[in-house]
Amino acid sequence: MKQYLSGGRGLMTLAIGALTSAPALSVELFADPTSNIQVEMYGRIAPAAFVGTEKVYRNFYDDQSVIDDTRATVGLKGTVQQTFWQLELDYDRLNFPGGSGEVELQFDKAFVGHRFNEHHAISVGLMNSALDDVDRYGQTAVETMAELPTAQDQDQTIKYEVTYGPLLAATSFSYKAESEAGEALGDTWNGYVGLEYDLVGVRLGAETRTGSEGDSRFGKGRLYTIGARLTPVEGLTFKLNAYTLKTHLAQQRFLADGVTQVELFTTDEDRQGRLYRFNQFEENEWQGGEFGVTYQVNDRLTLSASTNYEERDEWDRDSEFWTGNQEQYDEWGDSREWQTLTLRYRLNSNTELAIEASPGEAPQSGYSRITVFF
C-alpha cells in the first residue's frame, strides 16, 4: 500500500511491500514519472547475537559465550531515465578473529549503473560482486551456514548483467579485492549463469583471484559454486549451496621491512595483518555446502532446516598443509558438520524475529536477531 505524505511533483510516499520472504519498507523521496526520475530511502536496524560461542576453534574476536552482532543499514537508491544508482552505509560489528568487537561505519555500496535496454546493464563503483547472487540464492539459514567464500562487496568494481527470459548471467571484475576481514585477495574476476523457472532454478558460478603477492596469506585461487532451488508445491522450497575452492595459502609470515616490534603493540589489532609479509604459498583445497528446506506455514511464520558440511586441507592433521592446531583437530577433526533449525516470525509488515539453533560442529550453538526495516 502507499500512504501519501505530500502532494505535487516531488511527491513523498511511504511504500510498504507485500508480504514476501522478507519484510520490505522504503520511503519514496521523489518521483517524476514524466522524466522517469525516482529516489527512495531504505534501511534496517537489527539487534542480534551469537550464543554458545565458547568453542575451541576460535571464530570470533573474543572467547565470551555471547557475541553481539547488532548491525544497521541506511541507504538511498534511484533512477534517472536509464541510469540507476545506490548509496548504502552499514554499521558493521567487527566480531571476526582479529577484529575489535566494536561497530564501524562503512560504505557498503556506492555505485552508478546504466541499463542499455531490458536485457543488458553495466555498473561501476563499490558494490556486490556478481557471484554474490549465487551465495544468497541457495541459502537456507539466517546466519549459521556453510558460506561461499566469494569476494562479496568490493570497491573498484565493474559489473555487467544480462537477462533473457529465464536465462540470467553476470560477471564482475574487482581491482585489488579484499576479504571481509581486510585480507588482500588480489585482482578478482567472478560471474555466474543461471536459469529461473517457478518450479526450479539453478545458478553456476566461478571466481578466479590473482593473489595478494605477499600482502596476506592468500595467494592465487579458483572457486566454483552452485546454487539451486526446487519448489514442488507452494510454500515448500528445497535449496542447495555448495562450493569447491583451490587457493594458495602462505606457509610463513614475517614482519615487513621497517616494521618494529613496538608497532605491534601500538596498532589496532584488526590492522596488524598489514604489518606482515607472507611467502611459501602452497595450494589448499576447501569444500563446503548447505542443503536445506524452507516451509512457509503462513504469512507470518516460516520454518527452515538445513545440514552443513565443510572441510579444508589446512585442518587435516595428515596433510602437509596442516596448521598444527591440535585443539581444533581434537574438537572436530579435518571437517565439520552441523545442522541449523530456523524460525522466522513476522511481527508486522516490516519487523522480523529470527531464532536459530545449530546443533553439531558449528562455531556457535545459536543465533537470534530482530530486524526492523524502514
Give 194-212 pLDDT, tens digit per residue.
Answer: 999 999 999 999 999 998 8
Q: What is the pTM of this model?
A: 0.83
Buried b (16+ CB within 10 A) or exposed e, 68-100: ebebbbebbbbbeeeebbbbbbbbbbbbbeebb
> pLDDT value at position 371?
96
In CATH, what number is assigned to the domain containing residue 193?
Answer: 2.40.160
Confidence check: pLDDT of 5 > 50: no
**Does residue 171 lie in a domain region?**
yes
Nearest CA to 321 out of 371, 217, 249 is that of 249
> pLDDT value at position 263?
59
More confident residue, 363 or 145: 145
As for how many domains the chain has, the answer is 1
List the domain range (segments joined by +) for residue 132. Answer: 49-65+91-373
- Percent of the chain past pLDDT 90, that is, above it, reads 51
> pLDDT value at position 3?
27
Mean pLDDT of 257-263: 63
**DSSP letter (8 states) at residue 256:** P
Mean pLDDT of 118-125: 97
pLDDT interval class at 139 (50, 70, 90): very high
> pLDDT value at position 260?
63
> pLDDT value at position 65?
84
**Does residue 334 lie in a domain region?**
yes
**Does residue 81 lie in a domain region?**
no
Give per-residue pLDDT as tens, 340-359. 999 999 999 899 999 999 99
pLDDT interval class at 62 (50, 70, 90): confident
To the nearest whole number, what is the mean pLDDT of the chain?
Answer: 84
**Does residue 70 lie in a domain region?**
no
d(C-alpha 187, C-alpha 210), whole Å: 5
**Does residue 32 lie in a domain region?**
no
**β partners of residue 158:** 124, 173
d(C-alpha 13, C-alpha 31), whole Å: 9
Give per-residue pLDDT as tens, 285-314. 999 999 999 999 999 999 999 999 999 888
CB neighbours of 61 closer than 8 A, spacing ≥ 6?
Answer: 67, 94, 95, 96, 97, 98, 99, 100, 101, 269
**Does residue 72 lie in a domain region?**
no
**Strand (E) or helix (H) holding 337:** strand 335-348
Maximum separation of any 2 CA atoms in the chain, in Å: 71
pLDDT interval class at 20 (50, 70, 90): very low
Give per-residue pLDDT as tens, 214-231. 888 899 999 999 999 999
**Does residue 279 lie in a domain region?**
yes
**Does residue 39 lie in a domain region?**
no
Confidence check: pLDDT of 267 > 70: no
